[in-house]
Amino acid sequence: MINDLPEVIHESTCLLFADDLKLVREVGDTSDHIKLQRDIDRVVRWSHDNKLYFNVAKCSVLSFSRARCPRHHPYHIEGEPLQRVSEIKDLGVRFTADLNFREHIVGVCKKAYRNLGFILRQSVGFDNFKALRALYDALVKSHLECSSVVWAPSEIKYKAMVERIQNKFARVLYRKLYGVYPGYPSLYPTLFVLGMVGYSTLETRREVSLATYMWKVLRGETDNPAILKELRLCAVDNAVQRRRRPSFLALPRARTNLLRDAPLTRAIRTLNIVADRIDLFSCTLNEFTRIVTGVVLYKLN
């Protein structure tokens, strides 16, 4: 995208990545709908001036709301209405969603498998292992970790489906490095193979990244008021006995398995364990990452 695009947007937040553009605005009344539509019109005029035209069929509207009956405004580009996709309620906290995450996980795995097959076919004669890892990280791992905090699976079946892709690449890389294909399960365990080729499980990376993000929000290094207001410190009162040490953060009550496995709840559990071992407000990023990695590995294994 051209760097001057954010300058034409006056009333909304502009998020740019590669050739993707997102306009974000909190909607309280009808005037907010009108302001967001004006920014859409400004972007359209900018696209015509720079001869970078939008494909309206690929443009969509996504609303995030806690309301039972959220406001739905018919946004449009040059008179053509934008399609509205599935709505996610309370993003980052509850993840009660109409979107079928299971279908999304299957779709991600299919695309990653297809790219992995292409890499393995084209790299039969490769002896540069750094190049092979770079191809995997760019074409496969990027799909498996993009927005994984949102769609991270909690069921064992879907966790194994995602991990199986990286495990396959790790065994191929192990054969290129050491000349022996690690058979399973009689010869080499998966965790051993991953460690020998310098990888960790994708679930470990997801949990460490999630806890690190929440830690940065708690310290004010990342601005996210919606998440920050859910991180409530536990205050000690007279009713707490001396031998009982309260948790660092209050854990939200979970009435369902979906809420129990929500990203915020998982991150708070991890931060409470880490807070018993290190001061979260004075430690460095390297210290926090080292401690939280050990905590996550102990929890998962």
**Tens-digit pLDDT profile for residues 120-131:** 998 888 888 888
Question: Burial code of 160-197, b = ≥16 C-beta within 10 A, e = fewer?
Answer: ebbbebbbebbbbbbebeeeeebeeeeebebeebbeeb
Q: Where are the alpha helices (DSSP H) in 220-245?
A: 225-228
Instruction: Please give the DSSP secondary-structure letter assigned to residue 94.
Output: T
Q: Is the pLDDT of residue 100 over 70?
A: no
Q: What is the phi-psi region of residue 179: left when phi exceeds 0, alpha when psi lies from -120 to 50, beta otherwise? A: left
**Tens-digit pLDDT profile for residues 225-242:** 888 888 888 776 655 555
**Entry pTM:** 0.63
Q: How far apart are the first and last CA of the chain?
A: 43
Say which residue, 185 or 23, is predicted with more confidence: 23
Mean pLDDT value across residues 110-122: 90
Q: Give the whole-angstrom CA distance, residue 119 versus residue 57.
A: 31
C-beta separation of 15 from 24 below 8 A: yes
Tokens of 52: 């970078």
Q: Is the pLDDT of residue 198 over 80?
A: yes
The overall average pLDDT reported for the chain is 82
Q: Which residues contact 45 (CB under 8 A, 6 or more apart)?
A: 8
Q: Is the pLDDT of residue 90 over 70?
A: no
Grade residue 158 by pLDDT with cuts at 50, 70 and 90.
Answer: confident
